[in-house]
A and B are shown apart, each in its own frame.
Chain A
Amino acid sequence: MLYSSLIFIYGFFPPSLLIYRIFSEKLRKTVLFALSMIFCLLCSPEMLVFLIFFTFVNYVVGLFTGAFRRKKLLSTLCLFIGVAFDLVMFFTFRTEKFIFLKERLRIPDEIFPIYFSFITLSALGYLIDIYKKRIRAEGNFINFGLYIMMFSKFFIVIRYSSFRKMLDGLSCDNSQMGKGLKIFVRGLVRKVIFADSLYMLYIAVKSINVLEMSVANAWLGMTAYVLCLYFTLSGLTEMSTGISCCFGMEFPPCFNYPVFSTKIRTFVSKWHIQVLQWFRRCLLKPLCDLSKNRLCHRLAYILTWCAIGTWYRTDVNGLIFGGLLGFFLMEEKFLCRLRLLKATGIIYTCMAILMFAVLISGDDISCSFRYILAMLGGNGVFADSMTLYLLRCYGVILMAGVFFSSMIFRNIAVRCGKTVADIISPVLTVVFLAVCTALISGSGHSAVLILNF
């Protein structure tokens, strides 16, 4: 079941909210766990069984790692088993190598691989935190089960300690529910209105033969790709955050208007904050702790970025993307000394990000390099009638996408003051919910995803 589907919004969400609110605070955790099980059951019963198995293995490994915290060797062994298990599962779902297992489990293929990518990060983070003695192992299976399986948390990566604190005070306040619904509808708008139409633009450009593509088309396609990726990921996490907020848990925002930064470093620090922080905390830091050598630190940095690239796209393209971006980030400080960059920072960042995006969007490496060549004018055509056609059709949505993903929008919203926003938001929320409902009414959901997860 997708968040952006009629069955979720109109069928699953209202009764679960009602049930949640009927029960007293003590029982709410159990209710949430039961609801999450029903959610998975409706997706596919095999998925439910698998998720419970996955949760249970991590739960047990966590307990053992915690129990052996004084014996370094044994706890390392436990951690190793847990990490190996999680990684094997991750690659099972993300690559086509283990397709028989996927078919056996009858996993709904459109969105589950993404769910699973986030779940793996949560589980691994939990085990590493126990091993590093940042937290104690969780004894209560329901608490841990909620951390892994909660239906509203699929796109959120958060530390276990913060999550555990939220579980203690599960409130159900009308005002908080309204806030959650606003966030949810905002996420829905990002996914259904922006991401889906930008996806169409990207697909239109992609259908041109790359050897005949004009420069303008190539840049247009990549702009659509990056914006679509931004709106998809931020939409999914915002829907997640919004639903969780209705059920009394407030997760921090995940994107802080990253598009149009002045440096790639700034871009990266605002993009998918939770996920990138996870990699920093659970991979980069432990790797750096191993040695004090500066060269090793640099190597660890690049390795971490390779892992991030692989997480976004599990193949050679992802690896190369991560490695190159990591290297670039490390060396960016030399570029930053240039005076020129102060004025043209935004343009430089945008162009660099678009170039990097080619690597995760292309079908394979050679295809990506041919595309970059087209962007640089390798085909000798600057623009053609297709460019005009696409601009005429998608100009408005592209401009709106640029506007809403930029700081300008945020700044205007802040300057106007909270009062104006507070007054119009209830009506706007309902209007946008209606528009999104209309847009998904044909197929019943909005499933297109730009990432080849």
Chain B
Amino acid sequence: MKITELSNRLTAVFVIAFILFFGVLTLSEYGEKDFPEISAKTILNGSFGKVLESYMTENFAFRDRWLSAKADIEADMGEKIVDGVYISDGRMLGTEGARRDISLKNAENVNKFADNYKGTVYFTAVPTSSGVYAELLPDYLLSNPEKSQIATLYDGLADGIRKIDTYNILKMMNESYIYYRTDTGLTSYGAYYVYRAVIQKLGFLPSSYSKYTISHVKSDFRGNLYKRCFYDGTKPDILDIYSYSGGAEITDCTVCTDSGVTYKKQPDNMDFSESDDIYNMYLGEGNPFVKINTSVNNQKKLLVIKDSTADCLIPFLIQHYSEIAVIYPEYSEKNMSFFVDPDNYEQILFLFGIDSMSNENLLEMINK
């Protein structure tokens, strides 16, 4: 047998064995997971092919290892961008900020709302880690920096609305651990500084940092950026929770869902340690409306309209208000009036990550 022929035969054996090994392993879990249903109907409407393809992708044998191998190869091969996540020396940063289009429709909705509202409206747009650590990103991804995105948004808001600047404070603090390394969001430490800026504008003295006791929840946390790129080279994050010893406590927490079901939540038995979502860690799963009563006895009430970025800030605000109502527009298809009458609150705080502001219909619900 000639050597070329032998080589070809060997290749055939190796490659077919390799393909069969992974192919059979992937498909052998047939029935255990949601394998696409084979029927004339699914085949004829074309869904079978699509479902089969995504089944194959999601349940591919040893998927986790393939993915982290992919991240390593891609980070070594070209630019350090894996699935839209830029991997810099110390942290991961999202790259979609460069293409983000800030919708002024949200600003218009807030303006319209403020016209009909007696109290004071405050607006805070919090940058993502890509905005604060922009200098780590390559130049061509900086044509539309978050700083100017925030400025555009604030320019669109009416004069009567008090705008709270957090970008410059966070920028100043960027040597500290204010953002997670593997997530776009603020750490509790970063949240504390945003809280200081916000609460001063709202007319209170911020609680001093030394009054908080810090408890470590987790030291191997990997956030939403990691879940996109699966790159293991960045150090995992530490999750901390700040509690104010001897301060006010939550006395009552009412949750309302979109279908109108209301139930009480025990604030003291929240178990954070198992939750792998830093956002759920503070307020529990995403609910459209949460009302928190506290032991503070000043009869002050605050309405917060927010996105997930703001979750980490709520625990800090508890020290100052006897009632805080929280509305989460992303999780609701109802209008705001379905949950709450804004005129019962003397202050309203809009608290959003700048990334949410590209969704132009987000704040439609506050005016209907």
**A interface, CB within 8 angstroms of B:** 1, 5-7, 9-11, 13-14, 17, 41-46, 106, 174-179, 181-182, 185, 193, 197, 200-201, 204, 207-209, 385-386, 389-390, 393-394, 396-397, 418-419, 422-423, 425-427, 429-430, 433-435, 437-439, 441-445
Contacts and interface: CB of A to CB of B under 8 A. Distances in A.
7 smallest A-B Cβ distances: which pairs?
A: A444-B57, A178-B8, A178-B12, A441-B66, A422-B7, A42-B49, A178-B11
A425 B52 CA distance: 32
Contact of A426 (B11, B66, B98): B11
Contacts of A10: 19, 22-23, 26, 56, 60
A399 B16 CA distance: 32
B77 interface: yes
B74 interface: yes
B60 to A, nearest CB: 6
A429 B66 contact: no
A212 to B, nearest CB: 10
Q: Interface range on chain B: under 10, 10 to 19, 20 to 34, or 35 or more? A: 35 or more
A276 B280 CA distance: 60
B7 A178 contact: yes
Between B26, B49, B69, the greatest number of chain A beta carbons within 10 A of the residue's beta carbon is seen for B49
B13 to A, nearest CB: 8
A41 B5 CA distance: 36
Contacts of A179: 8, 11
Interface in B25-60: 26-27, 43-46, 48-49, 52-54, 56-57, 60
B11 A429 contact: yes
Nearest to A6: B56
Interface stretch (B120-128, B137-145, B172-180, B339-347): B137-145
A177 B12 CA distance: 6
B169 interface: no
Interface in B69-93: 69-70, 73-74, 77-81, 83
Contacts of B139: 385-386, 389
A438 B73 contact: yes
Given A181-B11, A207-B140, A441-B70, A44 B57 contact: no
Contacts of A174: 8-9, 12-13
Contacts of B48: 42
B67 interface: yes
B10 A426 contact: yes
A228 B143 CA distance: 25
A433 B18 contact: yes
B11 A434 contact: no
Between B11, B20, B27, B66, the greatest number of chain A beta carbons within 10 A of the residue's beta carbon is seen for B11
B78 A201 contact: yes
23 contacts: A5-B53, A7-B52, A7-B56, A10-B26, A14-B19, A14-B23, A42-B48, A174-B8, A176-B8, A177-B12, A178-B9, A181-B15, A181-B16, A185-B15, A200-B79, A200-B81, A207-B140, A386-B138, A397-B77, A433-B15, A439-B73, A441-B60, A441-B67
A441 B61 CA distance: 10
By secondary structure, the A interface counts as: helix
A178 B53 contact: no
Nearest to A421: B7
Interface of B: 3-16, 18-20, 22-23, 26-27, 43-46, 48-49, 52-54, 56-57, 60, 63, 66-67, 69-70, 73-74, 77-81, 83, 98, 138-141, 143, 230
A386 B140 contact: yes
Contacts of A11: 23, 26-27, 52, 56
Contacts of B14: 426-427, 429-430
A44 B49 contact: yes
Contact of A422 (B4, B20, B43): B4
Given A42-B52, A181-B15, A418 B81 contact: no
B79 to A, nearest CB: 4
B15 A45 contact: no
A396 to B, nearest CB: 7
Contacts of A433: 15, 18-19
A208 B139 CA distance: 9
A13 B19 contact: yes
B53 A45 contact: no
A352 to B, nearest CB: 27
Contacts of B54: 444
Given A7-B52, A433-B18, A438 B81 contact: no
Contacts of A430: 14-15, 18
Contacts of B60: 6, 10, 441, 444
A44 B12 contact: no
Contact of B79 (A44, A204, A385, A441): A204
B246 to A, nearest CB: 49
A105 to B, nearest CB: 11
Contact of A439 (B11, B13, B23, B74): B74
B16 A14 contact: yes
Given A42-B49, A386-B140, A437-B66, A425 B78 contact: no
B368 to A, nearest CB: 33
A441 B143 contact: no
A386 to B, nearest CB: 5
Contacts of B16: 14, 17, 177, 181
Nearest to A209: B143
Contacts of B19: 9-10, 13-14, 433
B53 A444 contact: yes
B18 A434 contact: yes
A1 B57 CA distance: 13
B7 A425 contact: yes
B70 A442 contact: yes
A282 B139 CA distance: 49
A439 B73 CA distance: 8
Contact of B57 (A6, A41, A43, A193): A6
Nearest to A13: B19
Between B8, B52, B98, the greatest number of chain A beta carbons within 10 A of the residue's beta carbon is seen for B8
Contacts of B52: 7, 11, 42
A442 B83 CA distance: 8
Between B23, B26, B69, B139, the greatest number of chain A beta carbons within 10 A of the residue's beta carbon is seen for B23
